[in-house]
Amino acid sequence: MTHSTLILRLPQRWKIVAALSAALWCAAVTADEMNTIELVTTYKRDYVTIEHAGQEVTGGSLRGTTTVTRSDVSPFVEGESSLITCIFYGTATDTGIDLEAPCTNTDTSGDKWFWLAKRSAGDTQVGGEGRRELLGGTGKYKGVSGSCTYSTHYMADNWIVSRSRCKWSIR
């Protein structure tokens, strides 16, 4: 190889190094970008409402399934379903309800992801809109965080349907 051939090839090598560096930088930036999932959750509600200190307080459990209806990227896979269990607690207010529900989803491989649902609109008979915070998980969901908006509709025989749209990332 002559000296002039080496000089011509050197800039090409640097171009390749620069392209690879740019690709690696883009991959690192993408890791922190927010992804989107959409979910449909169907629960069966078991609850009790009591009169307490001049207000109605409701508490109980929710059990059902969550199905991913849209997903940009794993670990959430479009079409995959998981079992969900929640404990909820709500107090009636003049404007609706203050409701909080920590929930655990368990997928078919046994990995879990956690969220906390909060709602201050609507009631426990018709439904309403609220927010969910994704709080990480186990296995492939470790490090997942984000937030969701959701809308819940109560149906006959204590069935509930909830639709969520979430922005999330893995840290």
In the structure encoding, which two tokens stand for residue 37, read together? 């999932």
Segments of the chain scoring below 70 in pLDDT: 1-32
Would you state the pLDDT for residue 18?
Answer: 41
- Nearest partner of 84 among 71, 67, 69, judged by Cα: 67
Beta bridge partners, 55, equal 52
Would you state the pLDDT for residue 12?
Answer: 52
Would you state the pLDDT for residue 126?
Answer: 79
Distances (CA, A) of 11 to 1, 4, 23, 110: 16, 12, 18, 51
Exposed, middle or buried by CB within 10 Å (0-12, 13-18, 19+), for 150?
Answer: buried
Would you state the pLDDT for residue 27?
Answer: 40
3-state helix, strand, coil in the chain (%, to 5): 20, 60, 20
Would you state the pLDDT for residue 40?
Answer: 98
pTM, full prediction: 0.77
